[in-house]
Structure 1
Amino acid sequence: MRNTSRSRWGGVLIGIGLMTAVDEIIFHQLLGWHHFYDGATPALGLLSDGLLHAGEIIALVSGFFVLLELRHQRALHVTFAWAGGFLGAGGFQLFDGTINHKLLRLHQIRYDVPLLPYDIFWNLSAVILILIGLWLLSRARKPILKV
């Protein structure tokens, strides 16, 4: 019997880890737009990026081990895992865009530019990822009719 809950949660962990990696690699390292915490010295900003990267690795490895164990037990539900991946990625991005950027003000997407277009794109893309995850979840829950 396939384990839908663990499949979904393994996917969520991988989705969170992947979206964190995209954020960390593209916006923190390649573009250099911000650090995870921009409220102090550059050295502290770099340390905060390292801690974020460590959390990303923990999420990715944990999610892969959950899915690997389920696959070994022949209990992996692939569609639930994909749904969880999209939900995790979108959930992380929406949390980052609303809580980290606006509520806690740990960092902004960019500095010295009008933020509204960046905020709209960031949070809209998060909502799109979540909607894809919800669509996959609803599709996975529908019983398959055998003819």
Structure 2
Amino acid sequence: MTGRAAGRSGGIAVPATVLGAGLGGFVDGILLHQLLQWHHMFSSVDPPDTVPSLQMNTVGDGLFHTVTWLCVLIGLGLLYARVTSSRGRLWSSRALWGWVLVGWGLFNLVEGIICHHVFGIHHVRHGPNQLWWDLGFLALGAVLVVGGWLLQRSGRPVDLCAERVASPSPR
């Protein structure tokens, strides 16, 4: 396997995608659940219009945030384990941020299909246009996947084991 292939797909793709899924989940939870309060985890099953229902939905949101937090930790841990030197260069690489966007987009697609369409436990925004909000969420996920894929392909490959070139020591 060439360095280009190893840096692009074998090395950081999975950890960065997991990291992106976790970060995308945090954006969903913080923006849609907490700040805008458009929905909670189980708001289609148990609308949060009473204190007990809101408490149950808040627990669901907390469990959801726990999973996204674990995805972030796992993604960072895998990145740290796979990139053995020059870790600073990784954070400015298009490959990393492209895969992070792919992960965020995959989160939107999987969560959107499963929670909004298959089980219907919540929708992006409840009301007469909820299908359009749900489809827009899926479209955003697809754009993030395609954009992330293109971004990671446009960057230089990440050499996971590149040694830093030592600067000459002053005499």
Task: Please tell me the residue identity of whatever aligns with 1:15.
Answer: G
- TM-score after normalising by structure 1: 0.82
Measure, in 1, the Cα distance between the counterparts of 2:120 and 2:13. 31
Measure, in 2, the Cα distance between the counterparts of 1:136 and 1:128. 12
Task: Please tell me the residue identity of whatever aligns with 2:144.
Answer: L
**Count of residues in correspondence between the two structures:** 142
In structure 2, stretches of 5+ residues that fail to align are 47-52, 158-171
Measure, in 1, the Cα distance between the counterparts of 2:83 and 2:11. 11
Measure, in 2, the Cα distance between the counterparts of 1:48 and 1:67. 29
In structure 1, which of residues 66, 70, 85 is the aligned counterpart of residue 82 of structure 2?
Answer: 70
Report the counterpart of residue 119 of structure 1 in structure 2: 134
Task: Please tell me the residue identity of whatever aligns with 1:29.
Answer: Q
Task: Please tell me the residue identity of whatever aligns with 2:151.
Answer: L
CA contact (8 A) 2:108 2:138 kept: yes
In structure 1, stretches of 5+ residues that fail to align are 143-147
**Where is the helix percentage greater, Structure 1 or Structure 2?**
1
CA contact (8 A) 1:6 1:66 kept: no
**Aligned positions of 1:62-141 closer than 5 A:** 62-73=74-85, 78-139=93-154
Task: Please tell me the residue identity of whatever aligns with 1:36.
Answer: M
**Aligned positions of 1:13-92 closer than 5 A:** 13-38=18-43, 39-40=45-46, 41-73=53-85, 78-92=93-107
When the two chains are superposed, the root-mean-square deviation of aligned CA atoms in Å is 2.4
Give the % identical residues.
Answer: 25
CA contact (8 A) 1:8 1:82 kept: no
